[in-house]
């Protein structure tokens, strides 16, 4: 430090010593710059700490009458590097300062490097005087001395700047969080692993019904995912989109979509859990309402389809019934005069036989003629043929009567007293062709008293079950015929019809589905899946009764129909 003004050096040492003794201001650069500025006769002095051209921090000393711009008030403060040289420079010509655009009459710029990198710049400026070259050399020497001896100044300044930025960012983040914390409608809270609440915003206090004393605050959400959530959080994992339930039946239950983030301590243990809970109760209720509406629409659709199919089936039966009634009427007319003529033939034939017998008594040699014409055999077979014809006519008459009864229109769709046994016999007659080749029908009628019912609809039910029974027996492919057993009896206030068959029975996994609309085990084109569904609706809805199926121990299935002996008028479904 030879050649440096002793008074200046003494002042520098005094400032440094005072900084060390006070401990709170270890490197009082402002005081140092003030000493150097007074010695040089400068009006202002900057000490910039740089990162490239960007100003990280600065120390400034200036005459109070000079208006100076402070770089740190700028969004991105920088100096003009292109005007810097790699060595100290004294300028005695008019120029602008490195920052702020102040017009200087004279300037001294001292760049400071560390490992070939520019880390700081010191600039002195005068608005009216020229700097002395001698004084400028001494100032440069002192600045380099300070730079070499006190490099930690820059580290401190870097740390200070970093800390300042962090504090600024933290303060900004805290303000943002506070605004969000106080104004969001979502629940924001922090709690310990044991459930003790540490902080909670106003929506959370309302939702949790917290008491005035924070010491009593607790957080215990309900969710089927809580064990899974605890396991994840215990290992430091955040969880999101977990549905939880808060509240009770008394306070009101609310549903929330929650996110939980654990905070770990130095021992890698969960110290605090932070959570955000969004109320989704309205959405849940809307989804539930939508689901119920959808279910109701689905049921209504199924009911409409079932009703439509039932109406189609009934219309088909009505059309068939009208056709059958017409056919029966058309057959009945010619059958009437055929039977009448048949009766006359029987009478005339009896007279002719009697006449022949008398002729034989009076005519000699009639035996040869009788033998030649084979009249004896004809006389013997005629009564048998007449008897067979009588039976045929009786059967035709019975079929026509059954067709008329099965398809009668005067009581269609009306409640009326009916004999179930008569309905079953008519159905058996009409459906005879579907079962006569595969089964023998046995009836055990014990009821034999009128039941208030829709006769035409019951005919449809009996027809469906009997035809199904015949088809089930036919599936077995046996040569010997099966058996269909039909039983009627009274059980309290109910009439019961049981129709059993010796078919293969109903698979256990299907027995609860056989009454569903459109369910069928038959190949495509052979069944619509509507027969039993329509039958079930007729018994359960029209007659307020029960229809169910069961498998019998010895094999085969049994369908049981139970309907009230008397209907409650005005309550039947349309």
Residue 18 has a pLDDT of: 61
Domain contains 73: yes
pLDDT bracket for residue 168 (50, 70, 90): confident
- Answer yes or no: is 434 within a domain: yes
Residue 143's domain comprises 6-163
Listed residues 163, 195, 222: the one ending a domain? 163
* Rounded mean pLDDT, 6-32: 62
- As a whole number of angstroms, the distance between CA 190 and CA 171 comes to 20
3-state helix, strand, coil in the chain (%, to 5): 45, 25, 30
Task: For 508-573, give the secondary structure using H, E and C.
Answer: CCCCCCCCCCCCCCCCCCCCCCCHHHHHHHHHHHHCCCEEEEEECCCCCEEEEEEEECCCCCCCCC
Of 46-50, 318-322, 481-485, 553-557, the poorest mean pLDDT is in 318-322
- Do residue 553 and residue 539 come from a single domain? yes
Residues 229 and 367 in one domain: no
Six-digit token string for 267: 């021992």
Tell me, yes or no, whether 439 and 392 share the same domain: no
- The answer to whether residues 272 and 364 belong to one domain is no
Give pLDDT, residue 571.
47
How much of the chain exceeds pLDDT 70, in percent?
75
372 is a domain residue: yes
3-class state of residue 95 by DSSP: strand
Place of tokens 């329509």: 534
Number of domains within the chain: 4
* CATH number for the domain harbouring residue 450: 3.30.565.10
* 243 and 388 co-located in one domain: no
Whether 65 maps to a domain, the answer reads yes
Using alpha carbons only, give the angle 146, 147, 151 rounded to the nearest 5 degrees. 110
Residues 127 and 192 in one domain: no
3-state secondary structure of 444: strand
pLDDT score at 23: 42
What is the distance between the alpha carbons of residues 25 and 13, in angstroms, rounded to a whole number? 15
In a domain, 189, yes or no: yes
pLDDT at 200: 87
Mean pLDDT throughout 71-89? 75
Could you say which of 367, 389, 409 is where a domain stops? 409
For 344-401, write each residue's pLDDT tens digit: 777 777 777 777 777 776 666 667 666 666 666 777 777 777 777 777 777 777 667 6
* Measured distance CA(377)–CA(385) in Å, rounded: 12
Residue 434's pLDDT is 85
Q: Which token pair is 541? A: 């809805």
Judged against a pLDDT cut of 80, whether residue 151 lies above it is answered with no
- Is there a single domain that holds both residue 358 and residue 452? no
Are 520 and 488 within one domain? yes
Summarised one tens digit per residue, pLDDT across range 213-235 is 777 787 777 666 667 677 777 77
- Asked, for residue 267, whether it belongs to a domain, the answer is yes
More confident residue, 146 or 35: 35
Gap between the Cα atoms of 68 and 102, Å rounded: 8
Same domain, 400 and 419: no
Instruction: Return the higher-pLDDT residue of 107 and 323.
Output: 107
**Mean of pLDDT values over 65-79:** 67
Quote the tokens at residue 562: 């139970």
Same domain, 405 and 420: no
**Is residue 375 situated within a structural domain?**
yes
**Residue 487 pLDDT level (bands cut at 50, 70, 90):** very high
pLDDT of residue 41 exceeding 80: yes
Strands (E), 63-217: 89-91, 95-96, 103-104, 106-114, 117-126, 187-191, 197-200
Which of 409, 431, 448 is where one domain is finished? 409
Higher pLDDT, 28 or 128: 128
Q: What is the pLDDT of residue 372?
A: 64
Strands (E), 116-269: 117-126, 187-191, 197-200, 239-246, 254-264
Nearest to 200 by CA among 217, 222, 220: 217
- Residue 118 scores a pLDDT above 80: yes
What pLDDT, on a 0 to 100 scale, did the predictor assign at position 156? 58
Q: Same domain, yes or no, for 489 and 362?
A: no
Q: Are residues 326 and 466 in the same domain?
A: no
| 255: CATH | 3.30.450.20
Q: Residue 111: beta bridge partners? A: 121
What's the rounded Cα separation, in Å, for the pair 574 and 571? 9
pLDDT digits (tens, 9 = 90+) for 488-538: 999 999 999 999 999 999 888 888 888 887 667 666 555 556 678 888 888
pLDDT value of position 75: 60
pLDDT of residue 21: 46
The CATH number that applies at residue 63 is 3.30.450.40
Average the pLDDT over 402-415 and give the result.
61
* H helical segments located in 4-125: 6-22, 29-40
Mean pLDDT for all residues in the chain:
78
pLDDT value of residue 438: 92
When pLDDT is averaged across residues 199-207 and rounded to a whole number, the result is 84
Q: Coil, strand, or helix at residue 104?
A: strand
């Amino acid at each position: 430090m030879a050649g440096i003004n002793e008074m200046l050096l003494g002042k520098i040492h005094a400032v440094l010593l005072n900084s060390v003794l006070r401990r709170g201001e270890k490197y009082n650069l402002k005081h140092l710059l003030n000493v150097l500025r007074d010695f040089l006769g400068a009006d202002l002095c900057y000490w910039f700490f740089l990162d490239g051209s960007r100003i990280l921090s600065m120390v400034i000393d200036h005459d109070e009458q000079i208006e100076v711009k402070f770089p740190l008030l700028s969004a991105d403060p920088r100096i003009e590097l292109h005007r810097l040289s790699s060595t100290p420079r004294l300028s005695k010509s008019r120029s602008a300062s490195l920052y702020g655009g102040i017009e200087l009459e004279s300037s001294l710029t001292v760049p400071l490097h560390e490992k070939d990198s520019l880390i700081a710049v010191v600039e002195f400026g005068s608005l009216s005087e020229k700097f002395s070259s001698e004084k400028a050399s001494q100032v440069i020497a002192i600045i380099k001395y300070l730079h070499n001896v006190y490099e930690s100044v820059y580290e401190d300044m870097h740390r200070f700047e970093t800390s300042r930025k962090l504090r600024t960012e933290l303060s900004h983040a805290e303000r943002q969080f506070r605004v969000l914390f106080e104004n969001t409608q979502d629940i924001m809270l922090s709690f310990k692993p044991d459930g003790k609440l540490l902080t909670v915003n106003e929506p959370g206090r309302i939702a949790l019904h917290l008491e005035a004393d924070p010491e009593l605050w607790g957080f215990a959400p309900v969710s089927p995912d809580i064990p899974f959530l605890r396991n994840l959080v215990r290992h430091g994992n955040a969880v999101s989109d977990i549905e939880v339930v808060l509240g009770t039946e008394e306070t009101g239950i609310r549903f929330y979509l929650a996110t939980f983030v654990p905070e770990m301590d130095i021992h890698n243990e969960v110290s605090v859990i932070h959570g955000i809970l969004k109320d989704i109760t309205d959405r849940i209720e809307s989804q539930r309402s939508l689901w119920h509406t959808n279910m109701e629409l689905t049921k209504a659709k199924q009911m409409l389809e079932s009703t439509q199919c039932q109406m189609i089936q009934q219309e088909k039966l009505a059309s068939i019934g009208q056709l059958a009634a017409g056919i029966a009427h058309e057959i009945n007319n010619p059958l009437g005069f055929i039977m009448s003529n048949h009766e006359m033939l029987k009478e005339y034939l009896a007279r002719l036989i009697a006449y022949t017998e008398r002729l034989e008594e009076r005519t000699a040699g009639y035996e040869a003629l009788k033998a030649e014409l084979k009249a004896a055999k004809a006389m013997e077979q005629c009564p048998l043929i007449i008897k067979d014809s009588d039976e045929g006519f009786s059967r035709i008459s019975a079929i026509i009567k059954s067709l008329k009864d099965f398809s009668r229109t005067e009581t269609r769709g009306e409640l009326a007293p009916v004999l179930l046994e008569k309905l079953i016999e008519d159905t058996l007659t009409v459906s005879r062709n579907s079962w006569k080749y595969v089964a023998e029908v046995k009836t055990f009628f014990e009821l034999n008293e009128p039941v208030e019912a829709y006769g035409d609809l019951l005919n449809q039910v009996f027809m469906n079950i009997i035809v199904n029974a015949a088809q089930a027996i036919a599936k077995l492919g046996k040569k010997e015929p099966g058996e269909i057993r039909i039983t009627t009896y009274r059980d309290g206030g109910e009439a019961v019809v049981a129709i059993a068959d010796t078919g293969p029975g109903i698979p256990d996994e299907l027995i609860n589905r056989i009454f569903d609309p459109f369910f069928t085990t038959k190949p495509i084109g052979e069944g619509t899946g509507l027969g039993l569904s329509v039958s079930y609706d007729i018994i359960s809805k029209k007659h307020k009764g029960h229809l169910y199926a069961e498998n019998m121990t010895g094999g085969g299935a049994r369908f049981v129909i139970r309907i009230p002996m008397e209907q409650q008028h005005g309550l039947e479904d349309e």
